[in-house]
Each structure stands twice: as C-alpha cells, then as structure tokens.
C-alpha cells in the first residue's frame, strides 16, 4: 500500500498510525519513506507492506495507492510500481491522474477526501484515508481510533473528535467500494513484538553493547539516531555531544574511549569521508571506536534522502596507510540491534575501529519485528592492572591484543600514539618496529573467532546469492519465490565485510556452481571486492543497480531463473 501527497497532507503520519494499528491487530509490517527535497510542505510517500510473518522487503508492486494529490508525483512514480490489478484511490481535487499511472491499467477511483474532511470540524483528509484503509483491510476501527487518539493526545479533544469522525466517515465510504485486501494476521500473540526503525535499532544495539559516549554532527539520514540516543544516553549515565564537525566527532570518541568508555559516532557518507584520518588514528593507536555510516546516495552531497550501498569502498579502503579495521553491516532492521551490539563487542575486544554500514532504507524504515533476542557474549576490553612491571602498551602477543591502561590506573601511564611506535609506544621509524606493529594490528583481526556471525546462510542448492545489507530483504523474497518454482537457491548474506572470512565463505559456497552477487551500487563494488578476495565459481554474475530505486525481488528472481550456463 502506498500513500502519496504533498504540502502537509500527513502521509507519513497516516503510514505510522497504520503500521502501529496493524501491529496491535496482529499483523507484521514494514513502512518505508520517500521524500522530496523540501524541508516543509514537500511531497512525500509512505510505502507499506503487511504480512503474517516479519516483512523485510517492501514488495514488487502496490495493490493500493492512495493519492491526496499528484504534485511532483513524477519523483516517486518509478518507486511506486503498480499492476493492472491495483486500485488507485485519488482525490480529484488533487489534479488529473498522471499518464504513467493511467497506463498501468490499475483501477482508478476518485474519492473526495478533501471535500469530505472539510465538512467535519477539525477534519483532515488523511484521517478519511485512514478510515478508507480500515474498511478495505478489515483493520478494526476501534484499534485505529485508539491509536489515533493516543498519538493526538497532546492536540486537544476537538482534534481527536474530528479525527475520529473522519475515520468513521472514511470507513463508511470504503464499504461501498467493493475492494477487499484483508490484512494478513499472524496467529501467535503480539506481546513480544516491537515497532522499530533501523536507526533506533542501531542506537539500541549500541546501548546494549555498552556505548556510553557518542559524539556526532547532524546529517541525513543519520541524525534521527543521534536524536534518539541523546536523551537516552543521558538518562543511562552516559553522554552525547553535538560536535562542531565530523573531524571533532571522531576525535572526541577517540578521547572518550581512551578514557575507558565505549564510544561511538554516527554519520553518513560525507561525514565518513571527513572521519577517515581519525579512524586511522584509532587503528594505529589501537583505541576502540564504533563508527556508524548510514549510507545515502553519493558522491558528494548526492541524494541525501535516499538509499545506496556505495560507501562500501570507502569503508573498506578509505584509510591511508595500511589500517586493518572491521566493517560490518546489518542484514535487516531487527539485525541492526545485534550487528551494532556486536560491533561494540568487536571494537572493544580487538581494540580497533569498527565501521557499521547501515543505509537509508534500513535506517528510516519502520518495521514490526519479533523482539530481537538478547546476546550472550560479555564485552570487555583487556586492560592493564595497576603497577604491572615494565608495562608495554603495544606489547606483542600471540593474539595481537595487548592490555590497554585506562587513565587513573597507577603505574602504567603511557602515551597513545598515531606515530608508528615500539612496544612501549615510543615513536619509532625503524623498519622492525613498523613490521611488528603492522603484523600485530593485522593478525589480531584475522586470528579472531567471529563464530557464525560473519554471515546469515540459508538453504542449499547449486545456485547461491551472495549479498549484504538492505538488499538481503529483496534477495530472501526472490529466493522464496524461485524456491516455490522448484529451484533451490542458497543465501549468503555477509554481516562481516572486513576482514572477509574467506575460508568460511569458501565452505559456504561448497557445491555451488553458479553465484549471483547482488548489491545496490553502480560500479559493482561488492562484486569486485569478493572477486579480489576469493575464487568464486566460473559462473558468477553481478546484479548491481545504484539508488535511489530499491532492488525488486522480481528482477532478482528473474536472473536466478535464467539459465546461467
């Protein structure tokens, strides 16, 4: 279901209310957002899909489109695919239905939402629409009314009464349309279900991992995570600083982490570019930090409000010198909790920089999820004890991880350094020290046991899709569909991008004859990365497309069904 409208039509509000009410009634759902470039009054779209299992993919096409108006609709039209069986409810006051929509063959139903709303005191067209949806989907009017009343509680009784009257009117109007799209309802209870955005999920994962200091500079689409974190960190005894820029952000978290407090920054591509020198310092000085990059369309300011996976290369290779670090990426919204918590765990355990690659699609979408499980591992940094003799901060040890003294600990004072150094930390330009420390910083990452977390692997068969990040949802859907047609396909969704677990990946690919590498980039960054690291089967193809259009399961399944040989 898609809702579009401009100039404060309230489509995002309707989308959120709908998702919440549906969740209360027992449905799973996903809501994506798409918006124009204006700050206020711009056109926006709320794109929803409901199912009786968690929804990780937005769908190939929309069965129902509600359009309050068509202003600048051309900006969304390629994102809102319709089928001939789709229904379009449009307000005639919002102008003529655009040609491309007419062309889809969808059923067009004019409904005077604006006019109807005006007849009601404090009436709003978006509430009429919500009423329409309720009757079309069978979503209980009481559930919607109470969800609406709760969210409008601050606006006063008149507004709530007006909204409820609109809901009712919309519901009555809907009954006469003869459209039935019953909401899929999951059987088990809803006690353990959440609605959460990817940005919130990353924030929660960070808190669960023990992050107690965050510094950041506002940037779309990451700011919401900072805004979510600020009050919660404060209430948990932590602290968030709005820094003067990203150079400050990354150095502030280095300072906090040096002080013994797990620390994180949150940004998007342009900010990550500014941070790369600081991330190199984290690697060289072996100071744990977590950097979340919520990717958006690039390069430069690019397409700030839309998704892309094009920061992969800078995350992998962006550091000067040889700076081995960890790059992870959540494969879904609920996985953002785990992956971020794991990122903190890896940063603290390995005393290095961990970059988390989220993206706009994960970050700004809201999903009804089963409560993500708690994780068993205990996160602890190896620290130096007071008074140990001949303390060497960068001592060479088999696992490469050396004890870090926390300021305040007596007798192990040291100076952390981004200059190459000897085991004590004293600057050194000698080749032997350089080689030893390079080796130390590399082996601590490659020798670490990442367990099964390096990837999500499902199914088997001689065909495999290797993918990562937000593409995973569409890939899973495609695999399910071709599976229904009798073609089994393996899914390998990488969570740990660097260091790449080559051996495990080779094992996961055992028996595979054909590989499809799926990603949302123009230059096939992920494909080239994999090619540079592992020997993929001869029949390895790439499906890569840049943003802002999300990948459709239908195009993935089409490629899987083509005979690769």
Partner 1 sequence: MNPLSDKIEPKDYKSDVKPVWCPGCGDFGVLNAITKALASLRLAPEQVALISGIGCSSRVPAYTNVYGFHGIHGRALALGAGLKAARPDLHIVVAGGDGDGFSIGGNHFLHACRRNMDMTYIVMDNEVYGMTKGQASPTTAPDWTESELTPSGTHARPFQPAAIALAAGATFIARAFSGKPNTLAQMVVLAMQHPGFAFIQVLSPCPTFRPEQKEWKNIVRPFAVDALPTSDPALAALHCQRDDGMSTGVIYVEARPVWKRSDMQEIAIDDIEQEFRI
Question: In the complex, which residues of this chain contact partner 1 (CB under 8 A)?
Answer: 20, 23-24, 190-191, 193-196, 200, 204, 207-208, 212-213, 215, 232, 234-237, 239, 241, 243-245, 247-249, 251-261, 263, 277-278, 280-281, 285, 368, 371, 405, 407-419, 425-427
Helix (H) or strand (E) holding 46: strand 44-51
Q: Give the separation between CA 131 and CA 66, rounded to whole angstroms.
A: 12
Nearest CB to partner 1, comparing residues 73 and 279: 279
CB of 213 to partner 1, least distance (A): 5
Is the distance from CB of 399 to CB of 447 less than 8 angstroms? yes
Q: Round to whole Å and give the CA distance between 526 and 342.
A: 22
Instruction: Judge whether 162 and 118 are in contact, CB under 8 Å.
Output: no
Nearest approach, Cβ of residue 415 and partner 1 (Å): 3
Which residue lies nearer to partner 1 by CB, 178 or 408?
408
Q: How far is the CB of 49 from partner 1 (least distance, A)?
A: 17
Residues in the chain: 565
Q: What are phi and psi of 103, to 5 degrees?
A: -60, -30
Cα dist from 241 to 144, 291, 407, whole Å: 38, 15, 21
Q: From start to end of 218-269, where are the E strands?
A: 239-242, 263-267
The residues near 163 (Cβ < 8 Å, ≥ 6 apart) are 122, 123, 124, 127, 148, 149, 152
Smallest distance, partner 1 to C-beta of residue 287, A: 8
Backbone φ and ψ of 160, nearest 5°: -65, -45
| CB nearer partner 1, residue 275 or residue 295 | 275
- Nearest distance, CB of residue 197 and partner 1, angstroms: 10
How many other CB atoms sit within 10 Å of the CB of residue 431? 9
Nearer to partner 1, 41 or 231 (CB): 231
Whether residue 330 contacts residue 197, with contact meaning beta carbons closer than 8 Å, is answered with no
Q: How far is the CB of 191 from partner 1 (least distance, A)?
A: 8
Nearer to partner 1, 227 or 513 (CB): 227
> Rounded to whole angstroms, how far apart are CA atoms 383 and 418?
19
Joined together, the tokens standing for residue 233 give: 């960190």
Supply 507's token pair.
């094992």
Minimal distance, residue 283 CB to partner 1, in Å? 12
Residue among 265 and 472 whose Cβ is closer to partner 1: 265
Pairing of strands 44-51, 2-5: antiparallel
387: three-class secondary structure by DSSP = coil
Q: Which of 90/393 has CB closer to partner 1? A: 393
Instruction: Supply the minimum distance, in Å, between the C-beta of residue 217 and partner 1.
Output: 11
User: 346 near 303, Cβ under 8 Å?
Assistant: no
Half-sphere exposure of 111 (CA within 13 A, CB side): 30
Q: Residue 65 or residue 412: which is nearer to partner 1 going by CB? A: 412
Least distance to partner 1, CB of residue 17, Å: 13
Minimum CB distance to partner 1, residue 45 (Å): 24
CA 226 remoteness from chain centre:
14
Shortest distance, position 368 Cβ to partner 1, whole Å: 7
Measured from the CB atom, the residue of 178 and 376 that comes closer to partner 1 is: 376
Please say which residue, 261 or 559, places its beta carbon nearer to partner 1. Answer: 261
Q: Which residues contact 227 (CB under 8 A, 6 or more apart)?
A: none
**Nearest of 255, 324, 249 to residue 293 by alpha carbon:** 249
39 vs 188 by CB, closer to partner 1: 188
8 Å CB contact between 325 and 353: yes
Give min distance, CB of 413 to partner 1, in A.
5
Is 545 in contact with 517 (CB distance < 8 Å)? no
Strands in 52-100 per DSSP E: 62-67, 82-90
Q: Considering beta carbons, is residue 196 or 346 the nearer one to partner 1? A: 196
DSSP category for residue 285: H
The pairing of strands 239-242 and 463-468 is unpaired
């Amino acid at each position: 279901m898609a809702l579009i409208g401009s100039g404060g039509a309230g489509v995002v509000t309707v989308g959120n209310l709908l998702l919440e009410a549906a969740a209360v009634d027992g449905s799973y759902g996903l809501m994506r957002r798409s918006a124009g470039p204006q700050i206020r009054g711009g056109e926006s779209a709320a794109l929803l899909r409901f199912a009786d299992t968690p929804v990780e993919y937005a769908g190939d096409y929309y069965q129902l489109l509600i359009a309050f108006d068509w202003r600048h609709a051309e900006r969304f039209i390629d994102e809102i695919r319709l089928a001939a069986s789709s229904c379009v409810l449009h307000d005639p006051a919002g102008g003529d239905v655009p040609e491309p929509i007419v062309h889809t063959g969808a059923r067009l139903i004019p409904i005077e939402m604006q006019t109807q709303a005006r007849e009601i005191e404090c009436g709003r067209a978006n509430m009429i629409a919500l009423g329409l949806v309720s009757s079309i989907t069978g979503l209980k009017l009481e559930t919607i009314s109470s969800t609406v009343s709760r969210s409008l509680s601050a606006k006063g009784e008149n507004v709530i009464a007006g909204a409820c009257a609109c809901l009712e009117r919309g519901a009555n109007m809907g009954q006469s349309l003869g459209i039935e799209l019953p909401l899929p309802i999951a059987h088990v209870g809803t006690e353990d279900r959440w609605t959460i955005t990817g940005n919130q999920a990353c924030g929660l994962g960070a808190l669960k991992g023990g992050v107690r200091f965050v510094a950041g500079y506002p940037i779309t689409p990451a700011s919401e995570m900072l805004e979510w974190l600020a009050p919660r960190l404060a209430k948990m005894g932590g602290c968030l600083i709005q820094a003067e820029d990203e150079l400050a952000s990354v150095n502030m978290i280095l300072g906090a982490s040096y002080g013994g407090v797990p620390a994180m920054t949150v940004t998007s591509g342009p900010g990550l570019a500014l941070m790369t020198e600081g991330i190199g310092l984290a690697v060289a000085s072996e100071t744990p930090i977590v950097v979340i990059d919520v990717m958006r369309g690039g390069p430069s300011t690019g397409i700030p409000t839309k998704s892309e996976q094009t920061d992969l290369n800078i995350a992998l290779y962006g550091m000067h010198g040889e700076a081995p670090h960890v790059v992870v990426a959540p494969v879904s919204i609920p996985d953002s909790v785990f992956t971020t918590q794991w990122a903190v765990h890896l940063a603290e355990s390995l005393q290095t920089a961990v970059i988390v690659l989220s993206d706009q699609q994960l970050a700004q979408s809201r999903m009804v999820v089963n409560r993500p499980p708690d994780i068993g591992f205990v996160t602890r940094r190896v620290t130096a004890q007071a008074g140990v003799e001949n303390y060497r901060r960068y001592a060479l040890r088999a696992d490469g991880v050396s004890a870090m003294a926390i300021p305040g600990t007596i007798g192990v004072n040291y100076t952390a350094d981004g200059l190459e150094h000897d085991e004590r930390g004293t600057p050194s330009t000698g080749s032997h020290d350089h080689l030893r420390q390079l080796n130390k910083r590399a082996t601590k990452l490659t020798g670490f046991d990442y367990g099964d977390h390096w990837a999500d692997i499902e199914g088997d068969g001689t065909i495999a899709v290797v993918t990562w990040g937000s593409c995973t949802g569409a890939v899973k859907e495609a695999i399910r569909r071709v599976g229904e047609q009798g073609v089994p396909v393996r899914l390998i969704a990488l969570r740990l991008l660097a260091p790449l677990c080559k051996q495990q990946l080779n094992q996961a690919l055992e028996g595979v004859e054909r590989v499809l590498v799926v990603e949302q980039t123009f230059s096939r960054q992920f494909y080239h990365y994999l090619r540079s690291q592992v020997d993929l089967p001869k029949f390895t193809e790439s499906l890569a497309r840049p943003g802002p259009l999300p990948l459709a399961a239908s195009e993935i399944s089409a490629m899987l069904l083509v005979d690769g040989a």
